[in-house]
Amino acid sequence: MNAASKPYFINLDALRFFAATGFFMHAFIIRIEGVQYPAWMNQVSRFASSGALCVNVLHVLSGFLITYLLLAEEKSTGQFSILRYYLRRTLRIWPLYFTMVITFLFFVPMVMQAFGFTYHETANPWSYFFFWNNFAMLSDGFPYSPVLAVLWTVSVEEQFYVVMPWLMKFFRKQRVAVFLAIAIVSTLARIYFRNEGTTLFFHTLCIMSDFAVGAFIAWLAVNNHSWFHRWKKMPRAVNFGIYLALLVMIVFYHPVFDSPLATIAERLILGLAFGHVILDQAFGENKAFNMHRIPGFVWLGKRAFGIYCFHQVGILASVHLFKAMNWLQSPWQFLLLLPLLSFFITVLIAAFSYRFFEQPFLDLKKKFEISGAN
């Protein structure tokens, strides 16, 4: 693939959906009032908490794609336009994001209270309007609505989107040093907050190494660095080995990363592993497998932002339906049927949103993309 002419990777659309499936692990973590759960469900919930790693994947992927597009534009035209970049990000993220925020901050509480339900939203509206709600959650606690709670990752990504192009413009000859500095600062922050699990998960400084890893591998690819050439020619057996090691780290996340030292290093280790998956899927000549060949993954990947925004809606709708039908009385109902129905409802809403709400903004976004972008 020519880095400057066609910055689109079909496998990464599929990877985006694969990562988004981790959000449905929330269906195994929630506890529903009135339902008697067996003791072993605590272990299921503990395992399901590793679904939060989907956030790591999406952050590394964002760092890669945004940096790659900026560098590809610079390579093609001599410079990149920060204004066009902001317009592209705004048209992709803001319409659906702010629709969700306004709906669940104001409209849903008003409707619920009108029908006599208790609903007192505690979220700070300004933290959502100005993209610092990940910090607001650290200081004020979680919002009442779980739909609003999951939107904290948008704030982190928007913080990255605002800062990164300026760093790349002002430090054009020191970009690798900038990426390395971000990773070092992030690691130091994790050392400082090593005993504060919530802060390690939500604080921008503690997680920004994900974006730095993504940005670095984008720089390697666009500049055809010798490391990049060695990486994309990696033997298939070695690729499989790295995928297997990553799978082990995910499945046995808690025993692997529960020690103090591992807690500090986990973000960087997993970020590099996810970075390898991105490079392998985007450029690898001896891929472990082609993710886009999994039926439906590309189609779903293009709707992953909607799946992310609506997955708690799908879970809550399924819970209320199952409670009304008294269908939460056996393990197979809340281990199999509940997640499946949650997934079906979420995809249905996300597909409708993509077709009838997001698509006009995406069509407008194309006017600000470089030639060949998708």
Residue 7: per-residue pLDDT: 67
Return the closest-CA partner of residue 78 out of 169, 166, 161. Answer: 169
User: Has residue 366 got a pLDDT over 80?
Assistant: yes
pLDDT average, residue stretch 220-245: 94
Q: Residue 364 and residue 5: Cα distance in Å, rounded?
A: 20
How long a stretch of residues is the chain? Answer: 374
Longest CA–CA separation in the chain, Å: 65
Please give the average per-residue pLDDT across 207-212, as a whole number.
Answer: 97
Residue 258: what pLDDT?
87
> What pLDDT is recorded for position 332?
81
Tokens representing 252?
């046995």
pLDDT at 230: 93
Query: In angstroms, rounded to a whole number, what is the distance separating the alpha carbons of residues 341 and 230?
Result: 44
Q: Name the residue among 87, 96, 157, 165 with its Cα closest to residue 365.
A: 87
Q: How far apart are CA 288 and CA 305, in angstroms?
A: 26
The model's pTM: 0.92
CA distance 291 to 157: 24
Quick one: average pLDDT of 222-233?
A: 93
**Residue 237 tokens, joined:** 């057996």
What's the CA gap between 133 and 118, in Å, rounded? 23
The whole-number average pLDDT for the span 236-258 is 92
Are the C-beta atoms of 326 and 286 separated by less than 8 Å? Answer: no
- Tell me, what's the pLDDT at 333? 83
| pLDDT band, residue 371 (cuts 50/70/90) | low
**Taking residues 133-161, what's their average pLDDT?**
95
For residues 162 and 166, what is the distance between their CA atoms, to the nearest angstrom?
Answer: 8
In this prediction, residues 257-270 reach a mean pLDDT of 92
Which residue from 10, 9, 7 is spatially nearest to 76, judged by alpha carbons? 7
Q: Work out the pLDDT band at 142, boundaries 50, 70, 90.
A: very high
> How many whole angstroms separate alpha carbon 129 and alpha carbon 134?
12
> Across residues 168-174, what is the average pLDDT?
95
Whether the CB-CB separation of 145 and 169 falls below 8 Å is answered with: no
Average pLDDT on 87-99 reads 97
pLDDT surpasses 60 at 5:
no
Range scoring the smallest mean pLDDT among 17-21, 88-92, 167-171: 17-21
Q: CB of 24 within 8 A of CB of 334? A: no
- What integer best gives the mean pLDDT of the chain? 91
Mean pLDDT of 242-263: 92
Determine how many CB atoms are found less than 10 A away from the CB of residue 330: 11
Nearest of 218, 155, 163, 153 to residue 185 by alpha carbon: 163
Per DSSP, the three-state class of 254 is: helix
Distance of CA 324 to the CA centre of its chain: 32
Predicted local distance difference test score (pLDDT) of residue 340: 92
pLDDT at 368: 87
Contact (CB, 8 A) for 104 and 88:
no
Query: Which of 73, 80, 23 minimizes the C-alpha distance to 52?
Result: 23
Handedness of CA 221, 223, 226, 227 (dihedral sign): negative
More confident residue, 327 or 356: 356
Is residue 276 within a helix (H) or strand (E), and if so which, with residue range? helix 260-283
